[in-house]
Structures are given as structure tokens and as C-alpha cells.
Amino acid sequence: MRRFAIKFYAIVAIILPVIAYYNWKVAPNVSGDLGLLNLVPYGQEYASLNVGGMVHPETDSLCVTQIHDAADIRKYPVVTIGDSFSNQGFVSFPHFLGRDHGFKVGNVERSMFYQPVQDYLSLLNAGAFVPGQTAIVEIVEHYYVWRLAWLDFDSTEYSELGPIVPGKWQKDVLSETARWVRLSIGYNNPVRRFKLDKDCFSHPTRARELYVYREEMSFLEISDELVIQALDNLARLQALSREKGVDMYFLICSDKYDAYEPWIAGKHPDNQILRRVPEDDHIIVMTPYMRELIADGVKDVYMVNDGHASTIGAARCAQVLAETLGTPDSQALTN
């Protein structure tokens, strides 16, 4: 009995300080979507998606309208539909397309758990878009092949439109501490970390650390046959859009990994799937534009603690789109 008591109290003496450290030192400083996944205390000064300083919520107005009813799609000269990169509010390219470039933009609000490319196709088939509209269909890089390859061209059924309700972190000290310990030793971590050979972020201690979703390595699993099928379907989607009088642009937002890949130190996987994308003025790949900013020494093009672009990256994406689209429609918002 005495031995059991000694072992019990020894275990408690180890566990309690670990729980206390996590609860008072780590948890209060967890921020960003990557922070919530791998429980790294990046600090609350990086909790806001406004890293980059190009938005002032106290004075700025949101310059994109969120569309939650398919009947409202036809009201906007420019309609965006995509995954999480399209749905970041003030820190999204649709907002900057309206704020900085005068376009009247409606965003069909989607989340990464929907299939926005299929939803666009189904809405197109259902007559939600009208001739003369511009549609910007966005998908993040590591999803673009899968989303295109699995399109159903006969469907007129789309996921129910409605506001995205952000999830809330339900804090459970014991389970979160156990997860933090597990992730700290590298077991089954959904986030990968790479070292960079120059300062790419303004974080005081993580300026040369790149954190990305492990899913961004999925290019290692994509076959040539799947890429061919995806690009064939993209050409078919473009042709259908033209047939219906909709000027459709397909936007591939860069993965964080691919944006920073040239500055990753040491041996690392090489992503080649974007090299197969055809040159087409209606297909916009953001990776080279993100790399231009990083090469010029711009920090925080993406957020250190998050998989999304900062206001800097979102504004650059909007600028590229504006230069491609040309003059805003006469009904566009004016600044």
C-alpha cells in the first residue's frame, strides 16, 4: 500500500505542475487556427486576423455583402464563391476588391467543409447567375485538384446557403493538457513546422518558423490521372460558364507552404501540381504573387499562427484580380 501511495503521489507531483503550466502559461496565449490545432502559444497580439495593419475595424466598413439566399446572387456584378479564403470578412480578397478597387461584390458565403466549386456549378445550372455577371470561383491550392476532379455536371442541388457560424474552442483543462503533451512530443500532429532561412514574420521568437497544415502535403498523394481529370473538368466548367454568359475566373489561392517554399531551410517536399495548370487569363494562381512579396522582404504575408493570408496577402490578391478584371461595373461601389 505504501508503494502504491508513493507512486500515486509521485505521479500527481508530475502531473499537477504540467496542468498548471498549460493552464496559466500556454492556453491564454494560444491564437490563430494553427494555434488551436497544435496548441502553440503564439501570443494574443497575433490573435487578430488583422495582422498586416491594412484594416481599421473602428473606421472601415465591410465592403462585401455576404449572400445567404441564391435569389440574391443576380444583384451583384461581381460574385465570389470559395472556401475559407473568401470568407474572412475584413481579411478577405472580396472585401479589398470592394474597398480598394470599387467593385460591387457579393460573396456566396461558404466554408471549407462545403464544396464551393460544385456549389458554383450547381447554382449555374439552376439559373442563379445571369448573363453579364462576373464570377470568381476560389479554392485553396491543396484542395483544387480534388474539388475539380469530383464535379457533378448534372447537379442543380447545392448546399443550403446560410451564415457561417464560427466554432468555439471548448476548453477542457485535462483533455487539452493531455493533447498539448501529445502534440509537444510530435505524436499525430496535424500541423507541420519548417525552419526558414530568413525572417518572414514579425513574431519576436518565431520569425523564421513556418507552421502549416499537414493537409498541405497532400500533393504527394495526387496522381497524374487525377490532375488530368481536374483540368479537363475545369475546361468544361469554363465552357459552360461562357455558354451561360457568365465571365468566370478560377482563383487558386496559394497554400502557406507553397508561398514560403523557396525559403524553407533543408530538405523538404517539392510541390509540382501547379506546374500543370495551363496559362489562361481566366485562371489565376496566387503563388507567384505571394512569393514576390516575400522575396521583397514583406513580413506577415501570411499569419505566423494561421493558415490564411494576412490583410497584406488578401489585399494583394484583390489587386491582382482588379488588374485582371479591369474597370468596375457602373453599378460598383465607389470609395
Sequence-distant (6+) residues with CB within 8 A of 224 are: none
All structural domains of the chain: 45-172+190-325 (3.40.50)
b (16+ CB within 10 A) / e for 148-166: bbebeeeeeebeebeebee
What is residue 36's predicted lDDT score, i.e. its pLDDT? 84
The structure's pTM equals: 0.90
H/E segment holding residue 211: strand 209-213
pLDDT digits (tens), the chain, 335 positions: 555 445 444 454 556 676 777 777 788 888 888 888 888 888 887 655 466 778 877 788 999 999 999 999 999 999 999 999 999 999 999 999 999 999 999 999 988 778 999 999 999 999 999 999 999 999 999 999 999 999 999 999 988 888 887 767 666 777 788 787 787 777 788 999 999 999 999 999 999 999 999 999 999 999 999 999 999 999 999 999 999 999 999 999 999 999 999 999 999 999 988 988 999 999 999 999 999 999 999 999 999 999 999 999 999 999 999 999 987 754 443 33
Written in H, E and C, the secondary structure of 158-188 is CCCCCCCCCCCCCCCHHHHHHHHHHHHCCCC
CA-CA-CA-CA dihedral for 289, 293, 299, 305, to nearest 10: 10
Q: Which pLDDT score, from 0 to 100, does residue 163 have?
A: 85
Cβ neighbours of residue 335 closer than 8 Å, sequence gap 6 or more: 99, 100, 102
Q: How many whole angstroms from its chain centre is CA 140?
A: 6
Q: 251 pairs with which residues across the strands?
A: 138, 284
Tell me the pLDDT tens digit for each residue of 156-215. Answer: 998 888 888 776 766 677 778 878 778 777 778 899 999 999 999 999 999 999 999 999
